[in-house]
Amino acid sequence: MTRLIFNIFVLGFVPCGYCANVLLIFPMPGKSQYILGNGLAKGLAKRGFNVTIVSLFEEKHPPANFNQIVLDGVLERLTEDQIKENFNFFAYGDTSPVGQILYVKGMCEEITEYFFAHPKVQILLKSQERFDAVVVELFENDALTIFAHHFKAPLIIMSSLGPNFWINGLVANPEPPAYVPNLLSNFNSEMNFSQRLYNFFIGIFCQLNNHFLIYPTQSKILKKYYPDGPNLSEIIYNVSLIFLNSHESIHEPVPIVPNMVQIGGYHVAPPKNLPKDLQDFLDNSKEGAIYFSLGSNLIPSQMPNATRDAILKVLGSRKENILWKWDQDSLPNRPPNFKLSKWFPQQDILAHPNIKLFITHCGLLSTTETVYYGIPILGFPVFGDQKLNAARAATLGIGKFIPFSNINEHNLEEAINEILDNPRYLQNAKYRSQLMHDRPVKPMDLAAYWVDYVIRYKGAPHLQVAGVKLPLYKYLMLDILAAIFIILFTLFHSVYRILKYWRAAKIKEKQN
């Protein structure tokens, strides 16, 4: 009853947003990022907002108040570029964090160029449309914040990765390296000396990359396509709100400033009925079933043959049935307990009571969904935040992980046996699931409330901390540290000169 009253209270503030027009820009080619954008757009539309989403994918069953601008052709061009480069994410997985950061910069620069150059985007910029708020998925594409300036609307940023070094600086959110692990690490909050040292220096590199590589590049793109507009530095810090795809049930507690709101799990929908073949397969899995998916970016058939054969041998010998998201029509040496498909309704599968284990790449959406349904994890992290998510899962005791390049028959069998035979993994997963569900208001309702709040209070500038207006030297207290250094240096130098003069005088006195 208390929660019902609270929900009614919160949603009572939303009606004035029913006529509000919201523009959502989700330019990234990853299907998982589109799922977040589309989920937010549909959630707002169902709550009465008029939404327009610009993305690379199409929603086949849009609700009322839902408009979409699909940037056709961009996905095809990006795919052609990857084919030309013979790009393989599995081979890329062993790249250092510095190499990953530099690769992502180049990729996001290309995507931002394709986005601005698209005729539909140019039509949108030249239109007479009016929007009350603009939501931008920010991922090294800072030039896109110009849309909020162009439409004279509050800027809301969507972070698909939770708090991280790409967005924290835009709202002066602190990220102490002593206990906040870098997004590209696999540390937990209790780091030893060498980990803290590494975390400190990789954090410095990330900030240097932001200020000296990403922002200048994005500024050039902005001037190219919006020549009469303001400088990038004038608009990227004018952030009204940041939505974080995070929650305490799966992320370590970290500082967040008042205009950052955690809505992790908002994209998880109530489970639907499974297709009959899947329902029968799982219902008939008397010994349970293991679900295996490497997400939407990794192509399973590109994995090394030795790794694939080790996985097949170990999983093929299990008593459980196996669901494997596989990208081809056939699988060499496919065991009889396997069911393959190029696509599975992941959330609905995880909701089935016979699922005992989720083998995953540890993308944040997959990690969130498995925690939501209380299923233990075996992680095969490859790149990006996957390694950090896998380390979190191990720290929380909801699973184990094996770096993809290290998979072999022995450690794979050992990890599966440990997770399934030790009840603490399931107990911890159920506990974390309880934490994710135990919220005073549903995350999508919270998102709708805050969009309306920002619109009602014209950008809610009262939520912005003063640190965002400070130059870097003031924010880091470099002027104070410099003044202290000068004072101490002057003091010690004066004492040294006095002592030197006194000693010289004493020597002279003795000589006389």
- Digit-coded pLDDT (tens) for 61-106: 999 999 999 999 998 888 777 766 667 778 777 788 888 888 888 8
Task: Retrieve residue 3's tokens.
Answer: 């929660």
- Which two structure tokens, joined as six digits, stand for 416? 């599966």
Point out which residues pair with 26 in neighbouring strands: 55
Of 30 and 274, the structure prediction assigns the larger pLDDT to 274
Cα–Cα distance between 421 and 301 in angstroms, integer? Answer: 30
Q: In terms of C-beta distances under 8 Å and separation of at least 24 residues, what long-range contacts does 430-437 make, across chains too?
A: 430/374, 432/249, 432/250, 432/371, 432/374, 432/396, 432/398, 433/249, 433/371, 433/372, 433/373, 433/374, 434/374, 435/248, 435/249, 436/247, 436/249, 436/250, 436/264, 436/265, 436/368, 436/371, 436/372, 437/372
Answer yes or no: are the C-beta atoms of 183 and 390 closer than 8 Å: no
Residue 17 has pLDDT above 60, yes or no: no
State how far the Cα of 311 lies from the Cα of 149, in Å rounded to an integer.
51
Q: In the prediction, which pLDDT does 8 show?
A: 44
pLDDT in tens, 383-438: 889 999 999 999 999 999 999 989 999 999 999 999 999 999 999 999 999 999 99
Q: Is 60 exceeded by the pLDDT of residue 159?
A: yes
Identity of the amino acid at 311: I
CA proximity to 25, closest of 113, 147, 165: 147
Mean pLDDT for 27-54 is 95
How many residues does the structure list for the chain?
Answer: 512
Determine the distance from the C-alpha atom of residue 337 to the mean position of all C-alpha atoms in its chain, rounded to a whole number: 34
* The model's pTM: 0.90
Report phi then psi at 286, rounded to 5: -65, -30
Model confidence at 265: pLDDT above 80: yes
Q: How far is CA 303 from the centre of its chain?
A: 24
Please compute Rg for the chain using Cα positions.
Answer: 26
CB 343: neighbour CB atoms within 10 A? 9
Burial class (CB in 10 A: 0-12, 13-18, 19+), 1: exposed
d(CA 148, CA 131): 9
Per-residue pLDDT at 269 exceeds 60: yes
The pLDDT value recorded for residue 86 is 67
Please give the span between the terminal C-alpha atoms of the chain, in angstroms, as a whole number: 97
pLDDT, tens digit, for every residue of 437-470?
999 999 999 999 999 999 999 999 999 999 998 8
